[in-house]
Structure formats: C-alpha cells, structure tokens
Amino acid sequence: MSTLNKKTVDDINAKGKRVLVRCDFNVPLKDGVITDDNRINGALPTIKKLIDDGAKVILCSHLGKPKNGPEAKFSLAPVAERLSEKLGKKVVFAADDTVVGDNAKAAVAAMNDGDVVLLENTRFRAEETKNGEAFSKDLASLCDIYVNDAFGSAHRAHSSTVGVTDFVDECAVGYLMGKELKYLGNAVENPERPFVTILGGAKVADKLNVIENLLNKADTLIIGGGMAYTFIKAKGYEVGISICDDSKIDYCKDMLRKAEEKGVKILLPTDTVIGAGFPDPIDAPIETCVVSSKEIPADMEGLDIGPESAEIFAQEVKNAKTVVWNGPMGVFENPVLNKGTMAVAKALAETDAVTIIGGGDSAAAVNTLGFGDKMTHISTGGGASLEFLEGKELPGIAAVDDK
C-alpha cells in the first residue's frame, strides 16, 4: 500500500520555512473549557520537532460542526491557551472569521523561527468541507511546506486536508499520522499471525465493507456488540427485541459461508446478557440475566456478551500475534453491561500481541476502563480507521508526497 511510503517530517528541511500543520484539535468543550486534551497531546511530537528544527509553525484544525459560518462556541481560542501551557511558549491565536484574514496574515508575517501560530477553525469557511479552491489557495499562501497530522480527518477530502496540497510544493505526514499508517497499515497488509480482528458496535451496516475486506486478511473474526444479533438470526436463532438489521440477514449468511470456504474462523457470542429493553438513561440501573445466544426470549433484548463468550473471545486473543479491535461488545457506558467489553480489553492488555484499537467507541472504552496505556496503538480516527480497515485509500493520505 503506497500509504506506507509517504514523506514524513523527518524527510523535510523545515529550518526558516513556514510550515502549515493540519492537526486534529476537534476536542470536547464544556462552557468553553476543554474536557479531554488527548488530541492536543497527540499533536505535540510533530509540533515540537518543527519548533526544534527552527520552522515557523502554523497550525490549523476544525472543531465541531458550525452550521452557519463562524460561531464563537466553536472557536479554537481555548486550544491556543492549552497548547501554550503544554509547549511552555506563547502560541499566537489568529482570530479571523475568514481563517486566512488580516490577523492571520499579520501573525504569520511577524513570525520568527520556532514561533507557533494557530489559525481559527477551518470550518468557519463554508468551502472547507466542499474542498473549495479559493480557501485551499488561501491556506497554501501562508506556507512553504504542508504537513498533515490529522488522521481523524484523513478520510475527508476537504480544503485543509486535500485541496491545499495542490498549491504547496512539499507535503509530508506528521508523527501521529505516521504512527497510524505504521500500525494500521501493517495490521491490514502484513500482520504477524495469527491475526485476530474483533468487531462490535451497534450496526452491521457500518461494518459491511470491513467484514468483507478482513475475511481476506484475518485468521479469526470475532463479532460482538449489537451487530452480532443479525449474524445470530442469520444462523436461524431467535434474537427477541435485540438490535437486528433484517435487510442484512442474507449478507450475514453470505459472510458466514465465505468464511467457511476461506478457512477463516468467525466467533459469535455463545451466551448473551439480556434485559427488558435498552437502559434509559444509558447508565441507569437495569435488571439482567444470562441466556444462551440461541435462546433469547421474544420480549428481551441482548445488551452484552455473556461470561462464556467473554472467556472464549479472551482465549482467542491470548493466542494471537496481531489484534485489531473496533467496536464495544455491549452497552459499555453502563456499569452492569460493560463486563464483556471489559473482559476483551483486559485480554488485550495482558497479551504480548500487537494490539490496535480502531478509534471511536473502542478507544473510549479502553480509556474509560483504564486499559489505554496497555495497548500498542489507539487510533485517533474512528471513521478514518474504519475506512482504512475497509481497504480504502484515504484522500488526506493519498494527497501527501510519496518518498
């Protein structure tokens, strides 16, 4: 895959150059305060490297989904403050509703080597998500070199991820992006075997192409979470009021048949934690019991894998050399229904295998349950990692120079 042979920040000479870095600063905010700065931390190695190399470092990112142009609540001003603290130096915030306006141009013109400027939210310009040429040119006008370090946005063809590269002579990936390509890319293209993939989450529809692609790559496919019930029904069993996509029954039958033909093991839950319905609110107390996955009562809903399934899945993980996990095993936000996800996370934490968590809810789950630091790699992009696992070329990566 050509994505594994991209020019990186180690391949560029940034001294004295203006370097525009597309980061992923799409951080959660409450009343203007950042509640989780993991994404800021993820960007620091690339930013520090460029500062040390004597570059003029210009940062850009989107934040949230502003609907009608600039909205104060989506400003990146709080990110500039947090970055200043973490870098131990002033990060100049260019407050410009047009992103590349007079403030931004003046701030960049005044930069010395090693200085850092943060531009305003790229989505304050409506053309950003349409990959508009005018905005792409505006961004390119600020820099000599472009670096994409925002894997979480790499599956989007936007002005700040793709369009800008058409107007900049030298384009590379940052350390965070490089790490994603190394771990996800090797897992998909050249895994150490046995290669086990674990897929969970609510909907089969979200993972159709992933399942299809991984059937050609993995040795074992473990399926849990809400999507398991469509597979269980495809095998002819009752799933009660569990999440089930009847339009995908034939697809699931086809996947089970293909797996058998290819000698790929598909593991489905053998037992299920059931309740009378989905907890509301999601963390509310709930009465549950465990039944065979073949015998879910008609008026009950499957909400987590059972203890026997957790043990079988954990054992499979222990025998693996590479594990990719995308999607929780149940309603992990509820303390009564997080046991399956917890068991899988614990098994990954204790194995010697390369363990890769595919962003989104899986990343939230391992971090919430306290196993984050035990994983080889936690992807920063849910949607991007899913598309990568589907075997798709991501536009934000394709646009960067090859080595």
**Residues identified as active-site:** 39, 203, 360, 383
Q: SS3 for the chain, per residue?
A: CHHHHECEHHHCCCCCCEEEEECCCCCCEECCEECCCHHHHHHHHHHHHHHHCCCEEEEECCCCCCCCCCCHHHCCHHHHHHHHHHHCCCEEEECCCCCCCHHHHHHHHCCCCCCEEEECCHHHCHHHHHCCHHHHHHHHHCCCEEEECCHHHCCCCCCCCCHHHHHCCEEEECHHHHHHHHHHHHHHHCCCCCEEEEECCCCCHHHHHHHHHHCCCCCEEEECCCCHHHHHHHCCCECCCCCCCHHHHHHHHHHHHHHHHHCCEEECCCEEEEECCCCCCCCCCCCCEEEECCECCCCCEEEEECHHHHHHHHHHHHCCCEEEEECCCCCCCCCCCCHHHHHHHHHHHHCCCEEEECCHHHHHHHHHCCCHHHCCEECCCHHHHHHHHCCCCCHHHHCCCEC
How far from each other are the two terminal CA atoms of the chain, in whole angstroms? 13
Residue 47: how many other CB atoms lie within 10 Å: 26
Residue 169: how many other CB atoms lie within 10 Å: 11
CA–CA separation, 207 and 231 (whole Å): 13
